[in-house]
Amino acid sequence: MDRIAIDQLIKRTAAPLLTAVFAVGVGMLIWVADEAAGSSSRFTVRPDRVAVLGRPPWLGEVTARAIAADLSAGLPGPVSLRDPGALSAWRARLDRLSPWVSVVLDLNPQFPGRAEVRLEVRRPVMVLLNGDWVGPRGTIMGQGEVRLDPAPLVMMGALSLEDIAECAAAAAEVLPWRAELAAQEIDLISVQLTAEQRVLFTTASGVEIEWGRSAMKSEFSAVDLPVEARIAQLLEVAEQRPGLIGVAKVVLWLDRPELLMVP
């Protein structure tokens, strides 16, 4: 029976307005030797004998097992735990075998009879209308069981890869403040691009938040306010108009916020 553990890495980024905490999921897999094959095989692991040791709490067990299966299917094998070169070759392949895997943190032989690997798993920040999850830099991970609070934003409108990447980057920028905004009754639920290629968030109450460009478009985003300043402006508007009552749209990327009121 698999042993299920919970493991997380915490990355903190200091900002002038707030301290933002990003939770990055870490998964742990184990490849086990075929002991039934005899003592000579106890130092050899096969990719098809894989178990999930740990997964991020937001990632469903069935999806974690599916990711492990995808990784195993792409590995050559079997390999000897006594062969560092073969294990290094496994590690080099792992982060290219599943879009869910951001980076391989380590792969260690555990004598006798198993190899353990720790993987950093991409946390979805956005979901497409077809149910595919999207990572912070626009990586499309496919479908799976994910339980996140706040829920990833739904992307509306055009679906070119460039548009997806830009919207995902903006969704990642605003993620650290979504709980703070929700406490001010600004509950972001969707994201899309305007005709002018500016990111537009929409709240649960239908208010449009014109965010501007993400930092990913560095050659253009310099003309937009920094992320922290945009958040500060939005919170200032929320203080003056709780719940953004009567507001149809807020433009945040300018030096001062612009409001379009409900007729």
Asked if 123 and 10 touch (Cβ cutoff 8 Å), the reply is: no
* Lowest-confidence region among 17-21, 102-106, 191-195: 17-21
Residues 6+ apart with CB under 8 A from 257: 233, 234, 236, 237, 250, 251
Q: Is the pLDDT of residue 82 over 60?
A: yes
Strand intervals (E) in the chain: 5-6, 8-14, 19-33, 44-55, 79-80, 101-110, 114-121, 126-127, 133-134, 140-142, 153-155, 188-193, 199-203, 208-212, 247-251, 258-261
Nearest residue to 136 (alpha-carbon basis) of 15, 9, 23:
23
Give per-residue pLDDT as tens, 42-57. 778 888 888 888 889 9
Domains of the chain, first to last: 5-121 (no CATH), 126-261 (3.40.50)
Give per-residue pLDDT as tens, 97-155. 999 999 888 888 877 678 888 889 999 999 999 999 999 999 999 999 999 999 999 99
Give per-residue pLDDT as tens, 163-182. 999 999 999 999 999 999 99
Q: What is the DSSP string of 124-182?
A: P-EE-TTS-EE-TTS-EEE---B--SSPPEEE-S---HHHHHHHHHHHHHHGGGHHHHH
Give the confidence band of 36 by pLDDT, cuts at 50, 70, 90. very low
Give per-residue pLDDT as tens, 141-155. 999 999 999 999 999
